[in-house]
């Protein structure tokens, strides 16, 4: 068998279940790999080897007794350091929450653990999840496993880096303005931002209550679907999930033949690096071979949608952080404080108009999608830039670069649609390229079906970086 640490989540869980490998062996393999990679990547906030080995031994004993907790039995996971686990630190990439011990466990984590997984540690993130690159002045920048001088994307920087380097088979991220899809694109992994209100956000650090979503980063679509099958659905602790359907595994495995994908005529196809444009063309060809009908779609003006998204995000983030912004402003990193302060510019009228328009904007988007099951678009116009050229504090021309790489993200959060980021090739400097399949509301399983078939026909997601 190849390196256990390089196995994907689904295969790992199956091998443990069949007792071909033990949970202890898995933990030891991952710890050995983390030892080698962590000094270069800074992906982990904390590694908890003793507790993880204890949990692994318990999982192996349970299995030896003929019992299993569920589909993730014996699998170690590590999540973004904003998912609370009772009694464990959750520092949210910040100085303000340094040393903060969570008094409760996030519903998503609780469900993953009820399905048999356990904690190997926690992965780093952008301070309070409010930044698109992976820079963090408090915990150090997280580095891209394909080239450590380049950004991971944020804010789920540690999740992207750790899964990309195969330090962990899967990790939860969060996506408020692209924070799952960007690290997935830049680090060459699969990332799934579910439909807003599909997965409980209870006991996770919030950024924007209207736009926050909880989802996985993993090697494959099937891995992400496995995680979502465990965490999706109603949760009394998060009333916004009241109408959320549970995961439909059968729908997520449907053959894509006869489905329709839309390719945007504008916005998402503008100013693309040549390799990104080629990856899109190649993906269109691959989907056509799978029997998928491909049509062009004329979407409503996404710059207007993006403006509304930023007004909502800025207002809600400022509201959450107002107490600390008043009393501890100097304890924020300068860039995050600056971003939070932008929310002070919006009046209640600005915010409420942006919120009232949301349903109309979604209706217009869906009408433009017509009969399409999903829209296929790049995640970003370019591959990962360097940490240096995107460091706003260094006085470089960083802002336009950051604006350029993040613009395809925010409309989707405002519209609340599911979006699956798929590895789709490699571009300049040998860096990964991701494409996003943007679905219809609660059409997460359709995205999964399309993405899974795409991965069965391609091998981009199987490529892993090697340690330089």
Partner 1 sequence: MPNDISPERIAALAGDAGFSLSGDDAARIARAATPMLTRFAAGGIAMPLETEPSTFVAVQHKDAAR
Residue from 22, 23, 159, 179 carrying the catalytic annotation: 179
Distance of CA 322 to CAs 328, 367, 386, Å? 10, 38, 32
Task: For residues 288 and 292, give the distance between their C-alpha atoms in angstroms, rounded to a whole number.
Answer: 5
Find, among 189, 234, 203, the residue nearest to 86 by Cα: 203
Determine whether 155 is an active site residue: yes
**Closest distance to partner 1 from the beta carbon of 212 (Å):** 15
CA dihedral (36, 38, 39, 40) positive or negative: positive
Applying CB under 8 A, which residues contact partner 1?
Answer: 195-197, 210, 243, 245, 301, 303-304, 306-308, 310-311, 314, 322, 325-326, 338, 341-342, 344-347, 349-350, 352-360, 362-363, 366, 416, 440-443
**By the 8 A CB rule, do 135 and 335 touch?**
yes
Distance in Å, CB of 378 to partner 1, minimum: 22
Separation of alpha carbons 54 and 61, rounded Å: 11
Q: Is the dihedral of CA 271, 275, 276, 282 positive or negative?
A: positive
∠ CA 294-291-447 to the nearest 5 degrees? 70
Instruction: For residues 420 and 113, give the distance between their C-alpha atoms in angstroms, rounded to a whole number.
Output: 24
Which of 219, 246, 249 minimizes the C-alpha distance to 13?
A: 219
Tell me how far, at minimum, the Cβ of 240 lies from partner 1, in Å. Answer: 8
Residue 33 class from Cβ within 10 Å (0-12 exposed, 13-18 middle, 19+ buried)? buried
Residue closer to partner 1, measured from CB, 11 or 444: 444
When the beta carbons of 219 and 229 are compared against partner 1, the nearer one is 229
Task: State in angstroms the smallest separation of the CB of 307 from partner 1.
Answer: 4
Q: Are 77 and 9 in contact (CB under 8 A)?
A: no
Rg of the chain in Å (alpha carbons): 20
Strand partners, 263: 296
Nearer to partner 1, 66 or 323 (CB): 323
CB nearer to partner 1: pick between 378 and 416 = 416
Minimum CB separation of residue 206 from partner 1 in Å reads 17
Q: Is 179 a catalytic residue?
A: yes
CB of 369 to partner 1, least distance (A): 9
Catalytic residue (choose from 23, 85, 117, 155) = 155
Shortest Cβ distance from residue 211 to partner 1 (Å)? 11
Q: Is 359 exposed, middle or buried (0-12, 13-18, 19+ CB in 10 A)?
A: exposed
Closer to partner 1 by CB, 25 or 350: give it: 350
3-state percent breakdown (helix, strand, coil) of the chain, nearest 5: 45, 15, 40
Whichever of 24 and 355 has its CB closer to partner 1, that residue is 355
Which lies closer to partner 1 via its Cβ, residue 226 or residue 312? 312
- Which of 10, 22, 55, 80 is catalytic? The answer is 80
- Residues acting as catalytic residues: 80, 155, 179
């Amino acid at each position: 068998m190849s390196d256990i640490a390089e196995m994907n989540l689904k295969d790992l869980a199956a091998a443990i279940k069949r007792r071909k490998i033990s949970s202890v062996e898995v933990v030891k393999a991952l710890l050995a790999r983390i030892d080698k990679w962590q000094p270069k990547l800074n992906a982990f906030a904390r590694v908890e080897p003793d507790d993880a080995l204890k949990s692994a031994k318990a999982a192996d004993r349970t299995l030896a007794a003929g019992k299993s907790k569920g589909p993730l039995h014996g699998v170690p996971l590590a999540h973004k350091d904003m998912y609370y686990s009772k009694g464990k630190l959750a520092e949210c990439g910040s100085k303000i929450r340094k040393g903060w011990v969570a008094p409760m466990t996030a519903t998503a984590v609780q469900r993953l653990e009820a399905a048999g997984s356990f904690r190997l540690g926690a992965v780093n993130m952008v301070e309070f999840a409010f930044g698109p690159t992976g820079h963090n002045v408090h915990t150090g920048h997280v580095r891209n496993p394909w080239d450590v001088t380049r950004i991971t994307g944020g804010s789920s920087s540690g999740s992207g880096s750790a899964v990309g380097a195969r330090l962990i088979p899967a990790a939860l991220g969060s996506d408020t303005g692209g924070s799952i899809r960007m690290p997935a694109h830049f680090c060459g992994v699969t990332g799934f931002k579910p439909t807003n209100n599909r997965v409980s956000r209870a006991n996770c650090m919030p950024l924007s209550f209207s736009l926050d979503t909880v989802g996985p980063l993993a090697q494959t679509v099937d891995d992400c679907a496995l995680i979502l099958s465990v965490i999706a659905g109603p949760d009394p602790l998060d009333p916004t999930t009241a109408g959320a359907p549970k995961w439909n595994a059968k729908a997520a495995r449907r053959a894509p033949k006869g489905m329709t994908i839309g390719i945007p005529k504008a916005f998402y196809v503008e100013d693309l690096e040549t390799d990104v444009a080629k990856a899109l063309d190649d993906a269109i060809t691959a989907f056509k071979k799978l029997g998928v009908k491909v049509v062009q779609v004329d979407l409503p003006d996404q710059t207007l949608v993006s403006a509304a998204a930023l007004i909502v995000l800025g207002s809600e983030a400022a509201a959450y952080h107002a107490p600390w912004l008043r009393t501890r402003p100097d304890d924020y990193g300068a860039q995050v404080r600056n971003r939070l302060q932008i929310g002070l510019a919006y009046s209640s009228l600005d915010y409420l108009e942006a919120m009232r328009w949301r349903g109309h904007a979604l209706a217009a988007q869906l009408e433009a999608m017509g009969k399409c099951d999903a829209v296929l678009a790049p995640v970003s116009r370019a591959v990962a830039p360097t940490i240096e050229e995107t460091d706003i504090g260094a006085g470089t021309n960083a802002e336009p670069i950051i604006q350029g790489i993040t613009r395809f993200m925010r409309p989707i959060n405002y519209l609340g649609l599911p979006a699956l980021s798929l590895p789709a090739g490699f571009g300049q400097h040998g860096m990964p390229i991701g494409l996003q399949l943007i679905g219809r509301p609660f059409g997460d399983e359709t995205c999964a079906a399309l993405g899974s078939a795409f991965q069965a026909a391609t091998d981009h997601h199987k490529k892993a970086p090697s340690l330089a």
